[in-house]
Structure 1
Amino acid sequence: MEQWSGYLGLILQGAVVTVQLTVMGCALALVMAFLAGLGRLSRFRWARWLATCYVEFFRGTSIFVQLFWAYFVLPLMGFDLSPLQAGVLALGLNVGAYAAEAVRGGVLSVPREQREACVALNLTRFQSLRHVILPQALLFMLPVFNNNAIELLKGTAVVSLISLADMTFQAQVVRAQTGNTAIPFLTILVLYFLMATVITVAIRGLERRLARGLDGVRG
């Protein structure tokens, strides 16, 4: 029993790394999603072109290849990244490309009347976006962001390929040392599920709060 408690400690250490990857990866993905999503709606052709290239490239290539590029190829160009930094970069850029479509779709889903009201009030494009469009669009984006965050959480398992000691890596270590597959992988299965549940509860709570706020404004 004492031996297994030690192995559980290893997996929990890996869980901390997984949480770090998820939080930092989601932060980067959120930034890239808004930059690319709004970029695709820009009136400037160069901005639309850059945003489209980013979205199509990262959606159209494998996360494994992106991770290997971040960890093994970028150092050859003078950008030395730790395994954690490479994992955050690859996961954030990859998931951000998918989330960018949620941003674009959310903005386009705002009724045309709202945009016309902004023009009637003589608001600038930035003021319209900040005070009118995005608060309403965010309500449409959140369910997709929830899925994207969970996909990023599950995607953190790929960092074990570059020897970052996340949950999956530590479960493989425990399996190699004990010869037991069921217990370590059942443990991380439960941990992944619990983390995904926390993400879902948090985002749904934010969604309900935002919906109440918008109802109050509309009322």
Structure 2
Amino acid sequence: MNFFVDALPLYLNGARYTLLITVGGCALAFAIAMAVGILGSTRSAALRALASVYVEVFRGVAALVLMFWLFYAMPLLTGYRLEPVFAAILALGLNIGAYGAENVRGAIKAVPRSQYEATVALNLSWTQRMRLVVLPQAWAQMLPTFGNLVIELMKGSAVVSLIAVSDITFVAQQLRTFTGETVLAFAAALVTYFVIAQVFVALMRLAERSANRRLGRIPARPRRRAKPAGAAAKGGAA
């Protein structure tokens, strides 16, 4: 018990770095996924080819190797070294963004053809079609997969300890080295990762329910009807 009490501040500091990398990586991956996914669903063959090249390259490259390349190899070519946290965010965001782009493209293609035809009949521009009709429906289909990708990115952040980022895994390794408590050190790391994952799962489920409710797939919660003032007065008198 003393081990966990003494090590708690270290794990909290490690969790701060894990959350920073997870949130930053998710923001980058989401921006890339939306942009590349939309490009991959357009009619332009050149844009689709560009999106396909990005997806195939970064989906086929290991995130760990990409992170090593950004942190160790790129300085030899450019003379500029990235900060470890930024290199980790960039590597994970580029990698997960490729998977997210396919999720976005698939969700857009899954919108019924009749919806596209209706937007054409209403003489809506391409931007209006995407913003008002297509993306709101596709968004609800994207979220479950996005939730899985968020958890995968969070778990993938465990490798950032290899470039000296003081995340949860780095803290566990340091405590194992200095205290010899291998079981306790990594048990605490497992619990910390699990708690963080459950927080992200809960947030993504709330987002899914909100998106489905806006589309009318989940009925809105009925509001309680306020009692008339006269009825309340009669009840009090009785």
TM-score by length of 2: 0.87
Q: What SS does structure 2 have at the residue aligned with 1:215?
A: coil
2:12 matched residue in structure 1: 12
Give 1:80 deviation, angstroms: 2.6
Once the two structures are superposed, residues 21-62 of structure 1 have per-residue CA deviations (whole angstroms, 9 ceiling, x without a partner) of: 000000000001011111112222332222111111111111
For 1:85-104, what aligned pairs fall within 5 Å after superposition? 85-104=86-105
88-97 or 193-202: bigger deviation: 193-202
Q: Shift of residue 2 of structure 1?
A: 5.9
Alignment partner, residue 44 of structure 1: 44
Unpaired runs of 5+ in structure 1? none
Q: How far off is 1:7 after superposition? A: 2.3
Offset at 1:4?
Answer: 4.8
- Measure, in 2, the Cα distance between the counterparts of 1:140 and 1:3: 44
Aligned to 1:195: 196
For the pair 1:71 / 2:79, whether they are aligned, the reply is no
Work out whether residues 175 and 185 of structure 2, in 8 Å CA contact, stay in contact via their aligned partners in 1: yes
Q: For this pair of structures, how many residues does the alignment match?
A: 216
User: SS at 2:216's partner residue?
Assistant: helix
CA displacement 1:122-173 (0-9 Å, x = unmatched)? 0011110011000000000000000000000000001011011100011000
Q: Which residue of 2 aligns with 1:158?
A: 159
Q: Which structure carries more helix by proportion?
A: 1
Q: Is 1:23 matched with 2:28? A: no
Identity across matched positions, percent = 48
Q: Whose radius of gyration is greater, 1 or 2?
A: 2
Match of 1:142 in 2: 143
Q: CA RMSD in A?
A: 1.4
For 1:112 and 1:123, the matched residues in 2 are separated by 15
Q: Matched residues in 1 for 2:50 and 2:31: separation?
A: 15
Provide the C-alpha distance between the structure 1 equivalents of 2:42 and 2:101, rounded to a whole number of angstroms: 13
Contact map agreement 2:33 2:98 (CA 8 A) in 1 = yes
2:4/2:188 contact within 8 Å kept: no
